[in-house]
């Protein structure tokens, strides 16, 4: 679920901060100058998270705990 927050700076510039939160996944956030860009990003991010394409876990899956211990010693 996305939450869009309209923010106005001291200089009067408007920006939109969006947070995407889905149960079981870390929250993601970004800031945009245009509301349409924020909405588009939220839709793309939500669908990518649901489809398992958003978080890059393949690199972590290639390494084992033994490799980590060997590297640190």
Each as own residue / partner, the long-range contacts of residues 65-71 (CB below 8 Å, 24 or more positions apart, any chain) are none
Strands 14-20 and 2-8, sheet pairing:
antiparallel
Q: What is the rounded distance in angstroms from the CA atom of residue 65 to the CA atom of residue 46?
A: 31
State the pLDDT at residue 65: 76
Q: What pTM value is reported for the model? A: 0.68
C-alpha dist (Å) from residue 21 to 36, 41, 60, 71: 19, 13, 23, 35
State the pLDDT at residue 26: 86
As for how many domains the chain has, the answer is 1
pLDDT (tens digit per residue) in 31-70: 999 999 999 999 999 988 888 776 655 555 677 778 778 8
Residue 45 belongs to what domain range? Answer: 2-72
């Amino acid at each position: 679920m996305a939450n869009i927050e309209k923010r106005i700076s001291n200089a009067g510039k408007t920006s939109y901060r969006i947070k995407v939160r889905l149960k079981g996944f870390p929250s993601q956030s970004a800031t945009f100058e245009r509301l349409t860009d924020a909405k588009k990003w939220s839709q793309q991010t939500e669908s990518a998270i649901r489809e398992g394409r958003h978080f890059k876990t393949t690199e972590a899956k290639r390494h084992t705990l033994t490799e980590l211990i060997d590297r640190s010693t």
